[in-house]
Chain A
């Protein structure tokens, strides 16, 4: 057993930190401070993605045939962790979850055109799973793809298609068999957003993160856009979600915030000889956050290590998702308590602390307990797969 990064990995971490300091230019920073570009999609963002791609960072653990470097998933995790620490809205769902699925199960066209371009930082995907009447019960989805002579005709509506406003493609779950049981009639498609049959309307959220309702009106895609076997899409969805769940709870951003809040508390005077960090309740909050982060880091590392052996276990992916998402909410609360009223100030006053990151992050934290598969379902999975208990009714 060895639970630490090795010298090479620590070196990689340092190298990446330095790399991002140069990559994240003032121009990119100011673009990312504009609300419409919070999640990326602006010209500077696109430029940075392509630079990362051509410098070979995006696909560290990917196979060489796609342009990857075939390092382990630990190196891949370190890359994502480090980029997320910078606050750059790295499209990890594309690179860490959809990309690997396409690389493994896509057609020749998809492997050559899509997977390699994801690695070059040239393509972004939105994920089309939920529908107005299919959320937690995802397998009841109704968007249809009907077989035609030269491909498939797609019609339907998706909800919460984040990033669709600047995505090149949607990773779309459709129903292709209407007779089979729910899970058994689903197929996955790569759907271009520049098709005239594609449209969307914005959904603005409490976290000022934009998401979208997306509409698919008689979109025709060729056979090559089908990923995996026809009607075998459910297993791609669950594998993708396992990868997504790990990526969602990466410990980098919360640890970075913790370090910054700690630094601020240690340098903020509350009277002539006391600092904020001298207060006992403040110390307690820091200790709570620290011990929580340690567990999260270890859960993520273990998951990543398991992935390396190719056996991402359902119960463990769900443990990461439930623990991580609920811990984030608790950690943001504990850290906001430390900074008190100051932490509700937005980014436009000289009193603003930490670039108003606390104010923004607490508002976006809630989506993780239900996004990526609601935590109730995750707990069902843990009870079933981890404790071998009977299926919940």
Chain B
């Protein structure tokens, strides 16, 4: 048993904080409140400092396969509300290829991702509660696939080189890399102004070679992708809620009413303490899930627990933070509001707490 971070992990955290605090000041973030929220310069800075290779094997130029390292990256991106959406690229594409592809061409992609080239995924579908069973179809014709369907909430699709698509076929679930110029992408405006897209595939033809996994392992790969995405996005939630909790502590320790600092009122300090507890629980379940995913390709219940805690923490801490800040909490000149919007996005993407409780309950009461 060891809950301590290794020295290289604390270093990752520190140097990320240094870069991100410089590039995610209020002034910088304002730029992206109504523009395409993607900071190219920041991305290349992360790349040149080796941060896009976290969680990837050294043979591709990465820093090693520990998923906790990658978790730190997402946690810090969340903490600084960084204008970068990288879970499709660094998690879905990179991690799934690393674990499930044995093609040289796919492995080359990993090196180019580390170098800063953008890939993404398009997995979620409107009104499909079960992403393991895509509505999108792939018809297999000789050595070609014809893919049709509609995906949404795909990150930065307009600037991605290719997009990893999940589809159902008569050979079961497939994960296929499709060139982005073969699909139609439409930007969706959403609550936190994140660069999310609708991706439409209208009988898109690709080579069978574009399937990233071995024959028959599509469902396993997709399940892994969904789980690791849940966990890494829960790390974003961790960073977001950690920031909100520290804002609560800071603000209520300075704001005075009735001649005293409001943090000295028990009603205030106790609500802050509850945020601290929630945060600690989220941190621990995230750590457990990411560590278990290091050694197993299927940790669905751990991932669900992580996501359930993330959803609940985002909701509770966001509203506590807004409430305890009073009007400051909603003032767009103060820092908090962006985190509250991000919290709602984190809470709902990959399924709400209620939905995931349902799924977890199903797992627990059936064959486990």
Residues of A within 8 A of B (CB): 1-6, 9, 72, 74, 262, 265-266, 277-278, 280, 282-288, 290-291, 294-295, 298-299, 301-302, 304-306, 315-316, 319, 322-323, 376, 378-380, 382-384, 386-393
A-B contact pairs, 19 of them (CB 8 A): A1-B2, A6-B1, A265-B365, A280-B358, A283-B362, A286-B365, A287-B357, A287-B364, A291-B308, A294-B305, A299-B281, A315-B276, A316-B280, A319-B277, A380-B270, A383-B263, A389-B263, A389-B269, A393-B260
Point out the residues of chain A lying under 8 angstroms from B3, CB to CB. Answer: 1, 3, 301-302, 305-306
B210 interfacial by beta-carbon distance below 8 Å: no
Is B280 within 8 A of A299, CB to CB?
Answer: yes
Per the bound structure, the CA–CA distance linking A235 and B246 in Å amounts to 29
> Which residues of chain B in 345-368 are interfacial with respect to chain A, using CB atoms and an 8 Å cutoff?
357-358, 360-362, 364-365
Interface segment among B89-97, B147-155, B226-234, B285-293: the answer is B285-293
Per the bound structure, the CA–CA distance linking A24 and B1 in Å amounts to 30
Q: How distant is A147 from chain B, measured CB to nearest CB, in Å?
A: 39
Is A379 within 8 A of B284, CB to CB?
Answer: no
B interface residue count range (under 10 / 10 to 19 / 20 to 34 / 35 or more):
35 or more
Q: How distant is A295 from chain B, measured CB to nearest CB, in Å?
A: 4
Is B361 within 8 A of A284, CB to CB?
Answer: yes
Is B357 within 8 A of A288, CB to CB?
Answer: yes
Q: How distant is A123 from chain B, measured CB to nearest CB, in Å?
A: 30
A388-B253 CB under 8 A given contacts A3-B1, A291-B305, A291-B309: yes
Per the bound structure, the CA–CA distance linking A322 and B274 in Å amounts to 9
Q: How distant is B257 from chain A, measured CB to nearest CB, in Å?
A: 13
Per the bound structure, the CA–CA distance linking A2 and B295 in Å amounts to 11
Per the bound structure, the CA–CA distance linking A271 and B298 in Å amounts to 34
A392-B265 CB under 8 A given contacts A2-B291, A291-B308, A387-B276: yes
Per the bound structure, the CA–CA distance linking A294 and B263 in Å amounts to 31
Is A392 within 8 A of B266, CB to CB?
Answer: yes
Per the bound structure, the CA–CA distance linking A278 and B362 in Å amounts to 8
B28 interfacial by beta-carbon distance below 8 Å: no
Point out the residues of chain B lying under 8 angstroms from A72, CB to CB. Answer: 1
Task: Write out, one digit per residue, whether chain B residues 322-359 have a CB within 8 A of any chain A CB (1) or not (0).
Answer: 00000000000000000000000000000000000110
Point out the residues of chain A lying under 8 angstroms from B364, CB to CB. Answer: 262, 283, 286-287, 290
Instruction: Report the 10 A-B pairs with minimum CB-CB distance, sorted nearest first.
Output: A283-B361, A287-B361, A298-B284, A383-B269, A382-B273, A379-B273, A287-B360, A387-B249, A295-B281, A277-B365
Point out the residues of chain B lying under 8 angstroms from A384, CB to CB. Answer: 269
Is A284 within 8 A of B357, CB to CB?
Answer: yes
Is B2 within 8 A of A379, CB to CB?
Answer: no
Is B273 within 8 A of A387, CB to CB?
Answer: yes
A3-B291 CB under 8 A given contacts A265-B365, A283-B365, A291-B360: yes
B19 interfacial by beta-carbon distance below 8 Å: no
Known contacts A322-B273, A386-B273; 9 additional CB pairs below 8 A are: A6-B1, A280-B358, A287-B364, A291-B285, A294-B288, A294-B305, A387-B269, A389-B253, A392-B266
A390-B358 CB under 8 A given contacts A295-B309, A380-B269: no
B68 interfacial by beta-carbon distance below 8 Å: yes
Task: Report whether over half of chain B's contact residues are helix, strand or loop; otherwise say mixed.
Answer: helix
Is A294 within 8 A of B285, CB to CB?
Answer: yes
A383-B272 CB under 8 A given contacts A282-B365, A295-B281: yes
A387-B281 CB under 8 A given contacts A290-B364, A379-B274: no
A1-B365 CB under 8 A given contacts A302-B3, A305-B1: no
Per the bound structure, the CA–CA distance linking A4 and B281 in Å amounts to 16
Task: Select A389's contact among B272, B301, B357, beta carbons within 8 Å.
Answer: B272
A287-B358 CB under 8 A given contacts A3-B287, A382-B276: yes
Q: How distant is B252 from chain A, measured CB to nearest CB, in Å?
A: 7
Point out the residues of chain A lying under 8 angstroms from B170, CB to CB. Answer: none
Is B365 within 8 A of A319, CB to CB?
Answer: no
Task: Select B360's contact among A290, A306, A390, beta carbons within 8 Å.
Answer: A290
A379-B365 CB under 8 A given contacts A3-B287, A291-B360: no
A382-B2 CB under 8 A given contacts A290-B360, A391-B264: no
Is B266 within 8 A of A280, CB to CB?
Answer: no
Task: Select B284's contact among A5, A287, A295, beta carbons within 8 Å.
Answer: A295
Per the bound structure, the CA–CA distance linking A290 and B301 in Å amounts to 10
Point out the residues of chain A lying under 8 angstroms from B273, CB to CB. Answer: 322, 378-380, 382-383, 386-387
Per the bound structure, the CA–CA distance linking A265 and B365 in Å amounts to 9
Per the bound structure, the CA–CA distance linking A391 and B265 in Å amounts to 9
B4 interfacial by beta-carbon distance below 8 Å: yes
Chain B residue at minimal CB-CB distance from A291: B305
Task: Select A319's contact among B245, B276, B358, beta carbons within 8 Å.
Answer: B276
Q: How distant is A64 from chain B, measured CB to nearest CB, in Å?
A: 22
A390-B365 CB under 8 A given contacts A1-B68, A319-B276: no
Per the bound structure, the CA–CA distance linking A17 and B144 in Å amounts to 57
B6 interfacial by beta-carbon distance below 8 Å: yes
Q: How distant is B33 from chain A, measured CB to nearest CB, in Å?
A: 29
Q: How distant is A292 from chain B, measured CB to nearest CB, in Å?
A: 9
Is A389 within 8 A of B1, CB to CB?
Answer: no
Chain B residue at minimal CB-CB distance from A298: B284
Point out the residues of chain A lying under 8 angstroms from B280, CB to CB. Answer: 299, 316, 319, 323
Per the bound structure, the CA–CA distance linking A302 and B3 in Å amounts to 6
Per the bound structure, the CA–CA distance linking A306 and B249 in Å amounts to 24
